[in-house]
A and B are shown apart, each in its own frame.
Chain A
Amino acid sequence: MLHFEDISAIECMNLSEIDLSDRCFCFRFFSEPPHIFIDSVKRFGILYPPVVRAKGDSYQIVDGFRRIEAANVCGIDTIHCRRCKGSLTDADLFFPALSIFLSSGQPHIADQAAILYRASKLLANDIIIDVILPILGYPSSPKVLARLLPLAEMDKELGSALIGEKINHDMALSLMELDPQERKQLVSLFLYYNYSQSKQREIFEHLKDICKKENRSLKDVLPELGWEGDMEDISSYETPLNLRLKKENENRLFRHSGEGWNPGFSNETPMNLRFTKGDENAQKGFSGENKVASGEAFRQRLKERRFPTLTGLENEWKKRIKSLRLPPSISLKPPPYFEGGKYRLSLSFKDIKGFREEMAKLDALEKDDAWIKLFTK
């Protein structure tokens, strides 16, 4: 076990002596320092000393990857670090390194996945299940481990979306089943239209079913539905999410004067977003004119493809209702899914006089051929 006295006082070290490639104790999903963090190091230096330990001919980083990398990017030669004394194995040092990391707060689920991934390289499975999962606040269960671990393999886009809470854990796991290109396309679709989590699930399930049924890939199906977007870096969106993340990043950085939280945005790569030719709604959405409507139009196209009979019935119903020219105070809903249940009629009125007027309108409707036709198949 590592004790406080096993850590040296602050020492000055050459950056060249530190092995940046040894990621044994790198517990963040995004380990690259964000720009804003690099700027801070450039201006103020490293305020909170990283922890390293001698390993072979160089030093291994125990805590402070992003600070050291930021210093490296800034071209700094020497930094102040604390050094672990003694000769512990990587496995022995894992828990002390983890507790230093966890002292800065509860890690995000993506970082938890990174922790489990690192642990899986050093520790036996039962230790991970019985010790590390509870440390992270989970029950000791192989199922929990199996659910979390794949998140360590997320690509940048998905990781950013998960950390930004734009995609939930379940959806992230589902997206991990796709090939990387398809995943990118879908993440970009979800983020671009800012779909709620329930809509994301609906879209994902419908697309999956269509691909299975038609034996096609998502790459083929999405453009047919009017979405060909993918992006090399979702961070270039000025979406509310990205703006918020940027702000949070800045706050954290200055609050802790140490490592900021980095959702991995570079802001340098342009978004590469394309729409299928002829998809005016999507293009309108891209130009920001009518994004919500365009997002809904995509869902409608998807629904028409997945449920052709049902949407046909709905469209036919709408046509018939339109031709009836019902007064705005009367509305009629068909049986759910046109499955032979009951129609639902609603009237709105203010008082008994209004009620009588509505009833008179209904009386008139009852004799209307179009009204009668509505209920005949």
Chain B
Amino acid sequence: MPLRKMTHGSSCLQNRSNCSQIRYPINRLIIEEGIRNDPVVIKILKALPGLSPEYIKNEEIDFSCLNHDTLALCRNKGRFLKPCPGTKEYLCCLYQFLNIGLNCPIDCTYCILQVYLNTNALVVYVNYDDLLSELGSEIMKNPSIIRIGTGELTDSLALDPLTGISLVLIDFFSRQRQAYLELKTKSDHIGDIIDLDHQGQTIMSWSLNPQNVICNEEGLAASLNDRIKAARRCQERGYKTGFHFDPILLYKEWEADYESVIETLFRNVDFRFITWISMGCFRFIPELKPVIQKRFPKSLIVYEEFIPGLDKKMRYPQPVRINIYSKMALWIRKRWPDAFIYLCMESPEVWKASIGYAPDDNLTLKSWLDERCRIR
């Protein structure tokens, strides 16, 4: 299936680096009245010369009416940092999310954001000063290691060539000792950050899937090769790297395809600089199914066998998940015998049955991951 094409006549967020030419369609630009002169806004406006911005008072912006091709620049009046919602039924690594914006231009078929947010627009929060001050005070309050990621409500790097937020964050974290930043992405937008002095406080992570899954399900994401190339470049510049096989999708040829992804990964990156590898099978809240069926009628991912999990999300049945994780772990360990693998939102039972060990509780899992961050 070919990649979805950009709409004609739209302005493009074009990569300024030499990475792949990923283009996201943006046809409308809304800017909150009162931030016209914000330096971030001015920078973004310069990068989108073809668009005439509409300035609207914050309270008058009806986010629920905005479309996927709208970029809205505004201030976040709420909190930026919040703990991963997790669930009490499955093990969670007690991660913290930093919300830099809402929605993602990559538009994966399986993306939870389609039903999770009350807007379809790409929202970018431009009040970086507020963000950094909240971050600083939260880190100060926290006595232990804190792992923070920006990839919950958007892709960490997808809009980076435009917003430059990762630049600001990597610089901020480089001055921390207890706090680590994880930038999780399906893009290869590393041009602006590759040469930064990160001080080992940032982990560059990629979500990986076989190329045919990328073509069919991951919208405007970078190809597998481009992601792996970007990861290698980051490793060469001393960045720690992480890889997330999440969501793992089940289909007829999944075994051959996923093993080949693992093969390609280890052929191209140095496992000594991999901080972690995580795995999580595709899961979704029931409300997502009709949305996928409507928006992506060619996608077949929701037609596999699913059962409601303890958290009410639809999941592959437990024996299926165990089989997937065991095989994936085997393929990884063949290439990296001491691989540090963890599972995302799974029960200790599934951990033990598939990768042979399980943390006792969330805090233990957190300590394992914290420890991995420390390794230089």
Contact = CB atoms under 8 A, between A and B. Distances in A.
Nearest to A210: B303
Contacts of A213: 300, 303-304
Interface string A203-229: 000000110110000000000000000
A310 B317 contact: yes
A338 B318 contact: yes
15 contacts: A210-B303, A212-B300, A307-B305, A308-B305, A309-B305, A310-B317, A313-B319, A337-B317, A338-B317, A338-B319, A339-B307, A339-B308, A340-B347, A341-B89, A377-B353
Contacts of A307: 305, 307, 317
B244 to A, nearest CB: 23
Nearest to B317: A309
A339 B319 contact: no
Given A309-B317, A309-B319, A377-B353, A337 B305 contact: no
| A-B residue pairs, 5 tightest by C-beta | A213-B303, A337-B307, A309-B317, A340-B347, A212-B303
Which of A213, A338, A339, A377 counts the most B-chain CB atoms under 10 A from its CB?
Answer: A339
Interface in B67-92: 89
A341 B319 contact: no
Given A339-B309, A340-B347, 18 more contacts: A209-B302, A209-B303, A212-B303, A213-B300, A213-B304, A306-B305, A307-B307, A307-B317, A309-B305, A310-B305, A310-B317, A313-B319, A338-B318, A339-B308, A339-B317, A339-B318, A340-B349, A341-B310
B308 A337 contact: yes
Interface in B207-242: none
A356 B317 CA distance: 38
A213 to B, nearest CB: 4
Q: Is the interface of A mostly helix, strand, loop or mixed?
A: helix
B350 interface: yes
A212 B300 CA distance: 7
B102 to A, nearest CB: 27
Given A338-B318, A340-B318, A340-B349, A310 B307 contact: yes
Nearest to B251: A213
A341 B303 CA distance: 24
Contacts of A336: 308
Which of A307, A308, A310, A338 counts the most B-chain CB atoms under 10 A from its CB?
Answer: A310
Contacts of B117: none
A306 B302 CA distance: 12
Q: Assign chain B's interface to a size class.
A: 10 to 19
B3 interface: no
B320 interface: yes
A313 B317 contact: yes
Nearest to A309: B317
B322 to A, nearest CB: 9
Contacts of A308: 305
Given A309-B317, A313-B319, A340 B303 contact: no
Interface in B300-333: 300, 302-305, 307-310, 315, 317-320
Interface in A311-332: 313
B310 A340 contact: yes
B310 A339 contact: yes
Nearest to A208: B303
Interface in B256-313: 300, 302-305, 307-310
A341 B309 CA distance: 9
A266 B119 CA distance: 53
A213 B301 CA distance: 9
Given A212-B303, A213-B304, A309 B309 contact: no
A303 B320 CA distance: 17
Contacts of B305: 306-310
Which of B302, B303, B308 counts the most A-chain CB atoms under 10 A from its CB?
Answer: B303
A299 to B, nearest CB: 16
B324 to A, nearest CB: 12
A347 B310 CA distance: 25
Given A213-B300, A307-B305, A310-B307, A340 B319 contact: no
A308 B317 CA distance: 10
A274 B315 CA distance: 37
Interface string A77-115: 000000000000000000000000000000000000000
Interface in B338-353: 347, 349-350, 353
Contacts of A313: 317, 319
A278 B89 CA distance: 45
Contacts of B347: 340
Which of A306, A337, A341 counts the most B-chain CB atoms under 10 A from its CB?
Answer: A337
Contacts of A309: 305, 317, 319-320
Interface string A180-217: 00000000000000000000000000000110110000
A192 B319 CA distance: 37
Interface string A327-365: 000000000111111000000000000000000000000
A177 B251 CA distance: 26
B92 to A, nearest CB: 15
Contacts of A338: 317-319
A212 B303 CA distance: 7
A178 B287 CA distance: 23
A178 to B, nearest CB: 15
A302 to B, nearest CB: 13
B138 to A, nearest CB: 34
A55 B318 CA distance: 71
A309 B319 CA distance: 8
A307 B317 CA distance: 9
Contacts of B315: 339
Contacts of B319: 309, 313, 338
Nearest to A213: B303
A340 B353 CA distance: 12
A272 B365 CA distance: 63
A209 B306 CA distance: 11
Nearest to A342: B310
A313 B315 CA distance: 16
A203 B303 CA distance: 14
B327 to A, nearest CB: 16
A313 B318 CA distance: 10
Nearest to A308: B305
Contacts of B304: 213
